[in-house]
């Protein structure tokens, strides 16, 4: 401990604050990440099946979805957060703090993630879909037991990437009052010139990312044959 | 029984419309092995996909056992499809599942108990000779083994019909033969009707009872395999027969004015095709003896269609014009097909 305090002297009094901020970041990543994961899977699958030649081809749905995703993706996250404050108030009752950040984080993550899911699913061999159709499986069964099941390694890979970029977004959300590690780094590292605190924040974030990658790579190894 | 009535399939693409299947009507009887042969792009895959309606015909009707598939809704159609197995050129196995799980996959909708499913899968593995590979993943198998798994999977729901789209095209000749043997066994022992799509003559001639020849979306010729290939009515059928033998070489040799193919004025070079009993060699020596002409064999080949011999001989006849004419009459009287290659 004392060695740690020698390298980062401000940790002694800010340690508790750091833990609290870490908790906030983890909460933001976990809650918005989980919701984004399911929404992204849903929209990614919807894109793939409604696409021309898809098992539930529907050009109208595909076009609308595609346009909506492209529009949201083209808005810089900082602006998106501000724009979504009223929406957040309507949905979760507040536009600030950890809870107030969820809507923006999800909106900033889902479009990107959906596109990645779409491209993972598009890589699946067309023949597998054909074979399962020939066996009499319905579109819903094909979605779950072929598209999703056979793509687990690819889905894991893009989920990892998305979680890592989500951590980046939480840092930005922190800057406008959502708390978390981004907020911590700005308050102490930037405004109070505690350089050691900036470094500590970076290291903590690196550790979180490494854990995510470790888990992801483990899943990929176990599911690739 | 599978019956197609005036089936047409037109694809509308940005680049224009493609008439992939043109007015195809055919009937495939229970328990037979029916071959559909054609060159790449002839529309074979599209036609076979019209049988289980993976591709909905633009017009025309498809019947299986007098049930009109083209009139069924999606849900009913899915039930019917469970009784139509299908295998593919690239096997289409699920990579994330073991051999056992691949065969189990189509059984998810079956009402069999877990123990019954297990017994079923084990007996299928036995049938295709892959019992030791039950826990292997597809990536650990050879092409021939993958196709065996695909066959076992296609048979899991006890289908009445097995559709094979270029099932051996990705395999070497020896593996092709072993897969064909397996299919013939499946046909014989389980009484399953097999529809076999291919561009390889070697596949059709070995196991198909009847054959249809496709060109530009249409069936141009069909019938009993031995009949179609011993008396081809269409140019394209002849092309297929030639790809299977070396006979095409003769034309190349003639074009190159090879020494072998030089003939004197009045001589004739003939291609004789004979099937079954009218054997070739005695014929040639008989011609020499009976008509006093020289019959020189340039090329000879015997093929087997469903086990029946189909012989091809290229001979030059030289002698007096009258004797050659008489010899030709005699050959015709034996029911041997004669094609004049050069005179
Ligand atoms: N989904 C599709 N959309 C547009 N055109 C298609 C489609 N499927 C097939 N075609 C066209 O229909 C024609 C017949 O194709 P098909 O795949 O049935 O041929 P094939 O006889 O099976 O050929 P091969 O031996 O190469 O497999 C081709 O011209 C092909 O380009
Ligand atoms: Mg094909």
Other CB atoms within 10 Å distance of the CB of residue B9: 22
Residue pair B269/B298 in contact by the 8 Å Cβ criterion:
yes
Residue pair B202/B214 in contact by the 8 Å Cβ criterion:
no
Dump pLDDT digits (tens) for A82-120. 999 999 999 999 888 889 999 999 999 999 999 999 999
Residues of B in contact with A125 (CB under 8 A): 90, 92
Q: Which residue of B has its CA nearest to A55?
A: B54
Average pLDDT score, chain B: 91
Query: In this structure, is residue A2 part of a structural domain?
Result: no
Kindly state the average pLDDT of the residues A146-150: 97
Residue with the larger pLDDT of the pair A62 and A6? A62
CATH code (residue A208): 1.10.3720.10
Instruction: Tell me, yes or no, if the pTM score tops 0.80.
Output: yes
The reported pLDDT for the residue numbered A108 is 96
Query: In this structure, is residue A99 part of a structural domain?
Result: yes
- Domain limits for position A178: 9-223
Whether A225 sits inside 8 A of B90 (CB atoms) is no
| Domains identified in chain B and CATH numbers | 2-233 (3.40.50.300), 246-342 (3.30.70.260)
Cβ–ligand 1 contact at B275 (below 6 Å): no
- B42 CA distance to ligand 1 middle (Å): 7
Query: In this structure, is residue A3 part of a structural domain?
Result: no
- The dihedrals phi and psi of B277, each to the nearest 5 degrees, come to -80, -30
The reported pLDDT for the residue numbered B158 is 96
Whether B78 sits inside 8 A of A149 (CB atoms) is no
Lowest-confidence pick of A10-19, A156-165, B274-283, B307-316: B274-283
Kindly state the average pLDDT of the residues B110-114: 93
* Residue B202: pLDDT band with limits 50, 70, 90: confident
The reported pLDDT for the residue numbered B187 is 97
> A31 CB near a chain B CB, below 8 Å?
no
Asked if pLDDT for residue A208 goes beyond 60, the answer is yes
Query: In this structure, is residue A1 part of a structural domain?
Result: no
State percent of chain B over pLDDT 70.
98
Task: Indicate which ligand has the atom closest to the C-alpha of B42.
Answer: 1
The reported pLDDT for the residue numbered B280 is 57
Query: In this structure, is residue A4 part of a structural domain?
Result: no
Lowest-confidence pick of B4-8, B42-46, B257-261: B257-261
Dump pLDDT digits (tens) for B277-303. 655 557 788 888 888 888 888 888 887
Please tell me the total count of domains within chain A: 1
The reported pLDDT for the residue numbered A24 is 94
Query: In this structure, is residue A34 part of a structural domain?
Result: yes
Kindly state the average pLDDT of the residues B71-83: 95
Query: In this structure, is residue A156 part of a structural domain?
Result: yes
Q: By alpha-carbon position, which residue is closest to atom 22 of ligand 1?
A: B45
- The dihedrals phi and psi of B16, each to the nearest 5 degrees, come to 125, 180
**Burial zone of B114 (CB within 10 Å; 0-12 exposed, 13-18 middle, 19+ buried):** exposed
Which DSSP state fits B168?
T
């Amino acid at each position: 401990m004392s060695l740690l305090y020698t390298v980062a002297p401000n940790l002694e009094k800010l340690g508790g604050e750091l833990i609290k901020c870490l908790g906030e970041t983890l909460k933001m990543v976990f809650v918005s990440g989980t919701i984004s994961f399911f929404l992204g899977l849903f929209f990614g699958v919807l894109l793939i099946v409604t696409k021309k030649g898809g098992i539930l081809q529907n050009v109208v749905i595909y076009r609308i979805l595609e346009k909506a995703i492209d529009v949201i993706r083209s808005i810089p996250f900082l602006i998106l957060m501000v724009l979504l404050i009223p929406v957040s108030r309507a949905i979760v009752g507040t536009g600030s703090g950890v809870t107030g950040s969820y809507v923006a984080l999800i909106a900033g993550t889902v479009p990107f993630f959906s596109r990645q899911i779409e491209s993972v699913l598009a890589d699946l061999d067309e023949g597998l879909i054909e074979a399962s159709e020939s066996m009499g499986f319905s579109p819903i069964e094909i979605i779950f037991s072929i598209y999703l099941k056979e793509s687990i390694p690819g889905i894991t890979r893009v989920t990892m990437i998305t979680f890592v970029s989500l951590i980046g977004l939480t840092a930005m959300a922190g800057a406008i009052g959502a708390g978390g590690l981004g907020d911590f780094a700005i308050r102490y590292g930037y405004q109070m010139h505690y350089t050691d605190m900036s470094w500590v924040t970076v290291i903590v974030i690196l550790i979180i990312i490494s854990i995510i990658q470790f888990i992801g790579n483990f899943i990929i190894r176990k599911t690739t044959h | 029984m599978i019956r197609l009535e005036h089936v047409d399939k037109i694809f509308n693409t940005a680049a224009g419309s493609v008439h992939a299947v043109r007015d195809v009507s055919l009937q495939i009887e229970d328990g037979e092995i029916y071959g559909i042969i054609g060159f790449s792009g002839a529309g074979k895959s599209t036609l076979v996909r019209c049988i289980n309606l993976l591709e909905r015909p633009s017009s025309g009707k498809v019947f299986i056992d007098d049930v009109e598939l083209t009139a069924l809704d999606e849900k009913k159609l899915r039930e019917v499809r469970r009784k139509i197995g299908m295998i593919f050129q690239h096997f289409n196995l699920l990579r994330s599942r073991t051999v056992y799980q691949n065969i189990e996959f189509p059984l998810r909708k079956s009402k069999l108990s877990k123990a019954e499913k297990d017994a079923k899968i084990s007996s299928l593995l036995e049938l295709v000779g892959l019992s030791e590979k039950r826990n292997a993943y597809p990536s650990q198998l050879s092409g021939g083994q993958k196709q065996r798994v695909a066959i076992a999977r296609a048979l899991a729901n006890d289908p009445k019909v097995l559709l094979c789209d270029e099932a051996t095209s990705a395999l070497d000749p020896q593996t092709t033969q072993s897969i064909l043997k397996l299919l013939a066994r499946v046909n014989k022992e389980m009484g399953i009707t097999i529809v076999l799509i291919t561009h390889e003559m070697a596949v059709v001639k070995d196991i198909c009872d009847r054959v249809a020849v496709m060109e530009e979306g249409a069936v141009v010729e069909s019938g009993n395999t031995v009949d179609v290939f011993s008396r081809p009515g269409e140019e394209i059928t002849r092309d297929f027969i030639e790809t299977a033998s070396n006979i095409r070489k003769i034309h190349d040799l003639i074009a190159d004015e090879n020494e072998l193919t030089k003939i004197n004025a009045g001589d004739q070079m003939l291609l004789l095709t004979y099937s079954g009993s009218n054997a070739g060699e005695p014929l040639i020596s008989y011609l020499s003896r009976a008509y006093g002409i020289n019959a020189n064999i340039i090329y000879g080949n015997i093929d087997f269609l469903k086990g029946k011999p189909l012989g091809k001989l290229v001979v030059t006849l030289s002698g007096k014009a009258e004797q050659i004419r008489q010899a030709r009459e005699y050959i015709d009287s034996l029911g041997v097909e004669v094609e004049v290659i050069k005179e």
